[in-house]
């Protein structure tokens, strides 16, 4: 059973590019625009985050169990009028360019 599920929202920014998925500082896969990917991890605690170029998301600490799926939603913070601030995000706030959150049950 896949116990880590990553759901990426669909948006204009980065539409043609995939986000790299990191688990405990090691890349485990990629997720495309509007795509859902799943992984099977051993039971335990993991630090998960996402990267595109040198920008990344916030880091999440999750506990994974073999009998329960942990679902993480990820997307770009660059929406609407914030498209005008893309360079600002990349230069001064690269850790907030992407967002990630654990989906509550």
Decide if 30 contacts 18 (C-beta within 8 A): yes
Question: At 94, which CATH number?
Answer: 2.60.40.1120
Q: State residue 73's pLDDT score.
A: 97
∠ at Cα 67 (44, 32), nearest 5°? 75
So what's the pLDDT on residue 91?
67
4-61 per-position pLDDT tens digit: 999 999 877 788 899 999 999 999 999 999 999 999 999 999 999 999 988 899 999 9
What pTM was estimated for this model as a whole? 0.87
What is the C-alpha radius of gyration for the chain, rounded to an integer number of angstroms? 14
Tell me how far apart the alpha carbons of residues 11 and 78 are, in angstroms, rounded to a whole number: 9
Closest by Cα among 17, 2, 1 to 74: 17
pLDDT range class, residue 105, cuts 50, 70, 90: low
Q: In the prediction, which pLDDT does 89 show?
A: 65
Q: Looking at the 3D structure of the chain, how many domains does it have?
A: 1
pLDDT tens track for 58-96: 999 999 998 899 999 999 877 666 666 666 666 677 777
Domain that holds residue 18: 4-102
């Amino acid at each position: 059973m896949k116990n880590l599920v990553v759901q990426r929202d669909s948006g204009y920014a980065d539409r043609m590019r995939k986000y790299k998925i990191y688990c405990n500082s090691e890349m485990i896969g990629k997720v495309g625009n509007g795509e859902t990917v799943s992984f099977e991890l051993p039971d335990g605690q993991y630090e998960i985050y996402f990267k595109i170029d040198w920008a990344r998301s916030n880091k999440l600490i999750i506990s994974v169990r073999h009998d329960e799926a942990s679902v993480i939603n990820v997307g770009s913070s660059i929406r609407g009028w914030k498209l005008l601030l893309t360079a600002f995000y990349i230069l001064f706030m690269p850790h907030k360019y992407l967002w990630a959150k654990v989906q509550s049950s």
